[in-house]
Amino acid sequence: MRIFVVEDEEIHLEVAIMNIKKAGYELAGYCMNADEAFQKIKDSKPHIVLVDIALPGFLNGITLSEKINKELGIPHIFTTSLDDDEVIKQAVKTKPKAYLNKPISLGNLKAAIKIASENPTDENPENAKTKPQLIFTKIGDRLVKIPVDDIKYLKADGDNHTSVFTGNIEISCRTTIKQLLKELPEFFVQIHRSVVININFLDEINELNQVAIINKKELPIGRKYKKDLYQLLNKI
């Protein structure tokens, strides 16, 4: 597996390269400027590209990734230290395979690359994934749209309701967490009988307290689900 890195901050670039090598992957190359990156990526033919959302140059991380997706068909993973909902919405349109918060941890890198490599970019409608990119929930007399990629985690709210958390918004759905999980892509994983997380938003795991942390929110990890979670993080 050959990985190309586009990152303008030297310290984050060094961390990314170090963890790519620790994970046993080959570094296809790197670039610190979006305007120069496209040709280097095209020439080096990587399997996956890590792209910082905020990059200097005429192109930025989002426009570069859109160009990579349309012209080269190479899967990309966004890296970011931003927490801007509007930027994330723009980034989603480029069809990234995952998101990684900086500095990139080894475990999260492995999980993201596993997801990207098992779900390569494919614009052929016959091979499109069957899992929905949007879900709708009934609130009063309205059906409200929820983009799947925006969901950070789910929490069971009684026997037949599930709370969906996107950013700082909580939306209540009239369904069980088990049923909702069946409708979501493979980057959602159950970590507790009442909690499902989007692995792309996982910041860290506190092993002492047995909690997963997403945006400073501590979510319990059940003993029954710990093995599956750790296998996802380490199975490369």
φ, ψ of residue 201 to 5 degrees: the values are: -100, 0
pLDDT at 25: 92
In the predicted structure, residue 16 carries a pLDDT above the cut 80:
yes
Pairwise CA distance, residues 108 & 199, whole Å: 8
Q: Which token pair is 205?
A: 């795991």
Pairwise CA distance, residues 158 & 222, whole Å: 18
Q: Which residues pair with 195 in a beta bridge?
A: 155, 192
Beta strands in the chain (DSSP E): 2-6, 26-31, 48-52, 76-80, 98-101, 134-139, 142-147, 153-156, 162-166, 169-173, 188-192, 195-198, 204-206, 211-214, 217-220
- Over the stretch 33-57, which tens digit does the pLDDT of each residue have? 888 899 999 999 999 999 998 776 6
pLDDT at 135: 74
**131 compared with 77, residue with greater pLDDT:** 77
Task: Provide DSSP, 176-205.
Answer: -HHHHHHTS-TTEEEEETTEEEEGGG--EE
- Over the stretch 148-178, which tens digit does the pLDDT of each residue have? 888 999 999 877 889 999 877 888 888 899 8
pLDDT at 46: 92
φ, ψ of residue 16 to 5 degrees: the values are: -60, -45
In the predicted structure, residue 200 carries a pLDDT above the cut 90:
no
Inter-residue contact 92 to 85 (CB < 8 Å): no
In the predicted structure, residue 128 carries a pLDDT above the cut 70:
no
**Percent of the chain at pLDDT exceeding 90:** 32
> CA 179, 180, 181, 186 torsion: positive or negative?
positive
**59 compared with 155, residue with greater pLDDT:** 155
Pairwise CA distance, residues 42 & 73, whole Å: 10
Per-residue confidence band for 83, with pLDDT thresholds at 50, 70 and 90: low
How many residues appear in the chain? 236
In the predicted structure, residue 110 carries a pLDDT above the cut 60:
yes
Pairwise CA distance, residues 162 & 112, whole Å: 26
